[in-house]
Structure 1
Amino acid sequence: MENNITLYGASGHAKVVVDIIMSNGKIVKKIIDDYPKLSYINDICVEKTSENYYQELHQKPLIITIGDNKTRKKIALKLDARYETAIHKASIVSTSSSIKKGTVVMPGAVINASAVVGQHCIVNTNAVIEHDCVIDDFVHVSPNASLAGNVVVGEGTHIGIGACIIQGINIGKWVTVGAGSVVLKDVPDYAVIVGNPAKIIKYNNND
């Protein structure tokens, strides 16, 4: 991780990422936002993005600190930045796992052997990603969610707080798994599932 990192997005999520970066002895250079509602986060000045921010961020160390998966993807596809990962020292990450650029791992999270976590993901507080799981880009695994071994999660999916997914399940892209849901069978793209056992209640817009 670079010593001086810019965060894109002045949000509660940004506050947590600042803590992660500081836990590794690094410094947040600045925080930028298209429509800032805060002037400071953890004594770091929040700046409005300028007309030239594409040029300003070219190949600069950056983490997108926006919780919404679709918005995070839109920004990542626009900018030619040098995306960094942020992994809290209080997380447990297997040396045989793989975590790709732009992803953040919160304190207490566990990523076990041979798991693969894609780009610009959020692995939130105390989430568990077990051995041999494959998590695609722009996924958010919420606090206390648990994925058993060999689970596959498609792009942009949001796994709600406290959800449990049994081993070997395939979850499609841009799925919403409701808080506390227990997933016992495969889930198609764009589905919204809730309950124990989890059932489809509707589908997300696939735009």
Structure 2
Amino acid sequence: MDSNIVLYGASGHCKVIIDILQCNNQPVQAIIDDAPKLGTILDIPIIHTKQFDFSTAQNMILSIGNNKVRKRLAAELPFNFSTAIHPKAIVSNHASLGEGTVVMGGAVVNPDATIGKHCIINTGAVIEHDCRIEDYAHISPNASLAGGVTVGEGTQVGIGASVIQGIKIGKWVVIGAGAVIINDIPDNVVVVGNPGRILKK
């Protein structure tokens, strides 16, 4: 278990990660942000990045919801990245999670699922067996992926969306809230509706 975790990004997403870490008795050293507007979040101080002594940071989590920003910062920051798993999430011992990934309360990650780096598996999301979630993806609250689904890098599967088994979703896709995905999806598109249809590129 990592100690003295620094969170990068003062946001609502940051609040949820703090709660996860506190539930696991993992101390948060500080929250750092490029443009802090508040003094604290959940009683943890926010420090401007220019004022923070990065040499004191042993472990970090990028507490930023924007997938592209997480990717950029992960490439720029030379730190060990921790994972955070809510104690009321179910993560199979036969699943794998990459560095920097967070799993919220009520989420389920089943056997032989592979979750990449800096992913967000949000509240109540279901990742079934043999799914592959690539780096920087976000599976939103109550989204459900059946077995063998692939989700490409940086893709966001919207709140309450459903994806049938074996589907391949490309990179940097946005799946709208409540969409039902029954066909493969190419890269760089927005998909909405039931059944899911490409709205725009």
TM-score normalised to structure 1 length: 0.95
Match of residue 11 from structure 2? 11
The number of residue pairs the alignment matches comes to 201
Q: Deviations over 1:1-60 (max 9, x none)?
A: 312100000000000000000111111000000011221111000001017x6x715872
Q: Deviations over 1:131-151 (max 9, x none)?
A: 000000000000000000000
Partner amino acid, structure 2, of 1:70: K
Partner amino acid, structure 2, of 1:140: H
Partner amino acid, structure 2, of 1:26: Q
Instruction: Give distance in 2, aligned partners of 1:36 and 1:99.
Output: 30
SS at match of 1:200: strand
Match of residue 152 from structure 1? 150
Match of residue 31 from structure 1? 31
Instruction: Give distance in 2, aligned partners of 1:105 and 1:48.
Output: 26
Note if 1:42 corresponds to 2:42: yes
**In structure 2, do the counterparts of structure 1 residues 181 and 193 end up closer, same or farther at CA, with 3 Å as the change threshold?**
same
The alpha carbon displacement at 1:84 in A equals: 0.2
What is the alpha-carbon root mean square deviation over aligned residues?
1.3
Check conservation: 2:4, 2:59, Cα contact below 8 A: yes
Instruction: Give distance in 2, aligned partners of 1:56 and 1:157.
Output: 30
Q: Deviations over 1:89-108 (max 9, x none)?
A: 00000000001100000000
The alpha carbon displacement at 1:120 in A equals: 0.2
Which of 124, 136, 139 aligns to 1:138? It is 136
SS at match of 2:147: coil
**In structure 2, do the counterparts of structure 1 residues 189 and 57 end up closer, same or farther at CA, with 3 Å as the change threshold?**
farther
Q: Deviations over 1:171-206 (max 9, x none)?
A: 000000000000000000001000000000101xxx
Instruction: Give distance in 1, aligned partners of 2:128 and 2:7.
Output: 29
Instruction: Give distance in 2, aligned partners of 1:39 and 1:108.
Output: 30
Instruction: Give distance in 1, aligned partners of 2:32 and 2:149.
Output: 35
Check conservation: 2:67, 2:154, Cα contact below 8 A: yes
SS at match of 1:50: helix
Check conservation: 1:147, 1:165, Cα contact below 8 A: yes
Check conservation: 2:126, 2:143, Cα contact below 8 A: yes
SS at match of 2:50: coil
Check conservation: 1:105, 1:123, Cα contact below 8 A: yes
Check conservation: 2:4, 2:57, Cα contact below 8 A: no
Check conservation: 2:119, 2:135, Cα contact below 8 A: yes
SS at match of 1:120: coil
Work out the percentage of aligned pairs sharing the same amino acid. 55
Which of 167, 174, 196 aligns to 1:176? It is 174
Note if 1:83 corresponds to 2:81: yes
Runs of 4+ in structure 1 off by over 6 angstroms are none
Structure 1: state its 5+ residue gaps: none
Instruction: Give distance in 2, aligned partners of 1:59 and 1:117.
Output: 25
Structure 2: state its 5+ residue gaps: none
Instruction: Give distance in 2, aligned partners of 1:57 and 1:83.
Output: 14
TM-score normalised to structure 2 length: 0.97
Check conservation: 1:58, 1:82, Cα contact below 8 A: no
Instruction: Give distance in 2, aligned partners of 1:64 and 1:202.
Output: 29
